[in-house]
Structure 1
Amino acid sequence: MWDFPLFPSQASTNAAKVDALMLFEIGVLVFFTMLICILILGFAVRYRRGKAADRSNPPTHSLSMEVVWIAVPMALSLVMYAWSTRIFFDLFSPPADAAQIDVVGKQWMWYIQHPQGRSETNELHVPLGRPMKLNMTSQDVIHSFYIPDFRIKQDVLPGRYTSLWFEPTKVGEYNLFCAEYCGTNHSIMIGKVFVMEPADYEAWLSEKGVGPSQAEEGERLFVQHHCAGCHRDSQTVHAPKLEGVYGRPVPIQEGKDVRFVTADDRYIRDSILLPKNEVVAGYEAIMPSFKDQISEPDLLKIIAYIKSIANRETSQ
């Protein structure tokens, strides 16, 4: 009769853990709300005006009561803190074998790029039973990537990369929302997530018409924007070579000091858009900025290419 579930369906490995914590917190809330209401009602009836109750020796303090009302809420708070911390770290610690998909939020749509070359708008296709990591950024304002049935939500920020992961447990179609007000048409920034059987997903990825892989497209952009003229190992220009650099420490010159940063997605992005912010030790700050020249989706493709050459040796 009533088709109005209190919770969305549980369609990922994270969902049951999040729901268990939420139900525990609701149970604690209901218990203490009922307890307080019953005590208020009971005392109001017992000590109402005109009632023959003993008021000759009202209590001024009770050490045991003070200990109880401090210790019990503290214990419950620590339990919820430890429980939620464990879930939090699980939600933001993807498995090492998680497949990565890039997501760009922009007013008012989601652009999604699969590493195999398939891209989609306001739709996300994923295989059943495989951990998936989303690497996300925004092209304009703050968005928030939210899939209720997976119990995941993460802000998507301009100028930064954020991530989340999930492992689908049920084949089906699920809603995707933007959960952060992002302008006039915020309410239409919705999409669908399709969880498919692994064989169907592989067939979908390789359908006719799919273009080059994300890394191959990134290599084309790398050449198109003349990055290869300085940064390939075969060039003689005095510039940092990118073969084998991703994921490794890079020495950054800061005055007379040198500090090391990891060459991750953030570092590569900032090196393209803000090249003078972190100059590699031993090199001059002569690289021009490509800000407003390369879109966020294209930046992700170039980063994918640099990742693909992470294991190549360089003669530098």
Structure 2
Amino acid sequence: MKREALSHNDTRGGDTRGGADRRAASAAQAARAVPASRGSEACDLRRQTGLFAWGLPLAQAGGSFWLPDPASTTAHYTDYLFYAIFYISAFFFALIVVLMTVFLILYRRRDSRSKADKAPSHSTVLELFWTFVPVCIVIYIFAAGFIGYMEMRTAPPDAYEIRVTGQKWKWFFTYPTGYVDENLHVPIDRPVRLVMTSRDVIHSLFIPAFRLKMDLVPGRYTSTWFHAVRPGEYPLLCAEYCGDNHSSMLAEVVVHEPGRFEKWLEEASNFMKNLSPVEAGRILYQRQGCAQCHSLDGTRKVGPSFKNAYGEPVRFADGTTAVADENYLRESILVPDAKIVAGYPPQMPPYQGLLDEDKIAALIAFIKSLSDAHADEATPPADADEAPAPDASP
């Protein structure tokens, strides 16, 4: 399979890339300051069209029956074992079908044969064959699988560590600087160790190009590692059913060229420095997964719309009401189950410990800017010349 079928880079079809750009047009001004803008636009399209959108680049490239091109050092263990089992199974399947067909023809009932011939009681040679040959094959498969498994489970001591948090229906990747991104950015030719946990239900991180899959379990840590060898952008998805929007729990792995990862991380970690709170809040709205449940135009989704949310009275499920001021918005972000808006399910995960005060203030400023009556209370967006877009290409 061609590399373009797997890696979402600049060789993707123009129609697909253009569609993503059109869907992101409403956030174009903010997207120029998002370090992972290329990956974010592509992920937005995939979240809107569902899991099958991952097949768009593959279909455009002609597709392939076989596994995608490997992009990590340990992928060959999986490929070798998969193809070994596949061809062994195909060989014995064909052998059994051919022999069965031959025996049906040779030993079918005929007029000259009134009764069945006397069958031998057993064949020592045949019994030894169908006992020891399968045993040897199974031992070989186990040995090959065990060697690959131990290699894939034992991370090098100098691996770069990234923490992964899964929650319905979003990925959070936390880097050593404290920066959190919705996509996984990694350096090329350096081992990366993922330390993972879940905030709600079991999720499963799956990166097909790396042949990598590992569960995220609430209340405990799991870990895995990989060593990327090809720059590009690769799909990352949840492979464990986790609720209504399971198919939209998508992200991208961006493998950076040598020297570019450090530059990206520095710019990404300081993206709020040259932005107004409103513009920073718009970026966080996309990056933190708010767009999946909260619209900006009044459209009803899983959660209440942000349009005209600030300063308006809100009725809760217990019958009480309150005005949506800064304190209410802050509480709703950090502890969303504290007050449930009437008519909406209590599905929002808490962001306590995931957002600092500056980011919370930016989100509140952005929500204020969407209020027709209170937009003047929000800080106006920074001038476009003050916030040049950082280079996010691999």
Closer, same or farther in 2 for the Cα pair 1:38/1:110, shift >3 Å? same
On the 8 A contact 1:143/1:179 being kept in 2, the answer is yes
- Report the Cα distance in structure 1 between the residues aligned to 2:140 and 2:112, rounded to whole angstroms: 43
Matched, 1:83 2:139: no
Matched length: 218
Letter in 1 for 2:63: F
Instruction: Please state how far the C-alpha of 1:63 moved relative to its aligned partner.
Output: 1.3
- In the alignment, structure 1 residue 134 sits paired with structure 2 residue 183: no
Q: Tell me whether 1:162 sits opposite 2:228 in the alignment.
A: no
Runs of 4+ in 1 over 3 A off after TM superposition: 51-57, 292-298
- Number of the residue aligned with 1:96: 157
Equivalent positions of 1:31-180 (< 5 A) are 31-50=91-110, 56-121=117-182, 123-180=183-240
The structure where strand makes up a greater share of residues is 1
Answer whether contact 1:112 1:119 (CA < 8 A) is retained: yes
- Give the letter for the 2:176 counterpart: P
Shift of 1:202: 0.8
Q: What does residue 75 of structure 2 align with? A: 15
Provide TM-score, normalisation by structure 2. Answer: 0.52
Instruction: Determine whether 1:197 maps to 2:278.
Output: no
**Aligned 8 A contact 2:177 2:269 in 1:** no
What amino acid maps onto 1:152 in structure 2?
A: L
Distance (Å, rounded) in 2 between the aligned partners of 1:169 and 1:113? 22
| Matched-pair identity in % | 39
Secondary structure of the corresponding residue to residue 137 of structure 1 = strand
Structure 1, unpaired ranges of 5+: 212-291, 299-316
Aligned residue number for residue 87 of structure 2: 27
Q: Is the 8 A contact 2:236 2:250 kept in 1?
A: yes
**CA offset digits 1:78-123 (Å, max 9, x no partner):** 00001101111111100111110000000000011000232201x0
Q: How far, CA to CA, are the matches of 2:88 and 2:268 in structure 1?
A: 55
Q: Are the structure 2 counterparts of residues 36 and 134 from structure 1 closer, same or farther at C-alpha, using a change threshold of 3 Å?
A: same
- Note closer, same or farther for the CA distance 1:76–1:19 as it changes in structure 2 (3 Å cut): same
Is 2:186–2:255's contact at 8 Å kept on the other side of the alignment? Answer: yes
Q: CA 1:85 to 1:203, structure 2 compared with 1: closer, same or farther past 3 Å? A: same
The whole-number CA distance in structure 2 between the counterparts of 1:51 and 1:128 is 73
- For 2:265, the aligned partner's letter is L
Q: Where do 1:243-282 residues align within 5 Å?
A: none
- How far residue 155 of structure 1 moved from its aligned partner, in angstroms, is 0.4
Match of 1:3? 62
Unaligned runs of at least 5 residues, structure 2? 1-59, 272-348, 356-394
Q: Matches of 1:296 and 1:103 in 2, distance apart?
A: 14
Aligned-CA RMSD value: 2.4
> Which one scores higher on RCO, CA 8 angstroms, separation ≥ 6?
2
